Chain A
């Protein structure tokens, strides 16, 4: 891998993606073989906003590689509360650890932090910006279930604010997937993402109605539409129902359609979908561990 820091899915080439996913597959096939791989490694977790799952996933990944973690703890109890800059915090913690994972509520925070440290830094979500490790585990799940060849994927829900969607769209462009975006008009892709996808020559189509495209899809990636994105509750009620799926909805889909979701879900995927062969969202979440193990192993020099 050419990159010391993993800031954005945009920086990942097709080769980078394949390297991480291949390595993740090797790890998933025989996790025990990697158990002592990084027994001297300490990973610093800097979570400036709560994200229990992502944090647990990184913790598990590091421990499964034989290493350990140091955790800044909650922002309320740290020096950040006293007004320390992010640049200072990362420079201090880099002295304790071999690599850093940063989750921060502001866009561009991971990029800025990476400019102040020499140890590898992984962006675990910067505001509405990027979340590249989520993208890698999404790609892993897509490749396992549908493959990248001749792939048609629909991404549905809040496409405007969903950082997982933005990262994923960049990466899907890199692997030449046909992308269909399904959302209310008010939650369509933001200008910067649209611009990038256009520049990269992506084949994208936008829809307001899932029915138009569902039968063509190999993968349906569902995200949550949040009520607070709408000026008033009634407007939300009006659109939200159109972007919920249940087992009946999927009658119109291909038999081997894969349904994904970054979780947590609320009511956009009914529980009766869980029992169908389409549901892959829990497996998708589990895939976070081998994928993050692979990424950390590669970043920490495990490919030598």
Chain B
């Protein structure tokens, strides 16, 4: 079966965003990175660990009624570098986007250094510079190389 057939297992959406080719098991981290926790009223469908020619297993996330911005999409690259983004209007794909690694991500990850000022009750978002093999806190210089999802900020 092709990826397209598999996609049918998740119902089509009228307007919104389909994020495809997320590495298997990362869908919930994708939602966390996008700040989608179900409280905003967005209708969200998640399909996990579907067979994929390209990835072996993949996750798919569909967000009804919301078009992700390029900034949001770029942040996804940290955990889903192979993702493809389809913007849907009236059941049609009107735009396909690729994820690109941003140079900086703000307010997405929590600094693992407990002595970093961004972990305090200060009016400042965390800010990480994105490098080739990790991200680095712009305040305290701590580098995160592995297990980025573990550092996603809880909403």
Which A residues are closer than 8 A to B by beta carbons? 85-87, 104-109, 111-112, 115, 126-129, 191-192, 195
Contacts and interface: CB of A to CB of B under 8 A. Distances in A.
Interface of B: 113, 115-118, 120-124, 136-143
A187 to B, nearest CB: 18
A80 B20 CA distance: 49
A195 B121 CA distance: 30
B143 A129 contact: no
Contact of B117 (A109, A128, A192): A109
Contacts, number: 54
Contact of B122 (A85, A107, A128, A191): A85
Contacts of A108: 116-118, 137-141
A56 B115 CA distance: 26
Contacts of B117: 86, 104, 106-109, 111-112, 126
Most buried by B among A112, A128, A129: A112
Given A105-B115, A108-B116, A191 B143 contact: yes
B115 A106 contact: yes
A114 to B, nearest CB: 11
B116 A192 contact: no
A195 B139 CA distance: 16
Contact of B121 (A85, A112, A127): A85
B141 A87 contact: no
A177 to B, nearest CB: 21
Contacts of A106: 115-117, 120
Given A85-B121, A108-B140, A127-B140, 13 more contacts: A85-B123, A86-B122, A104-B117, A106-B115, A107-B113, A108-B116, A108-B117, A108-B138, A111-B117, A112-B117, A126-B117, A192-B136, A192-B142
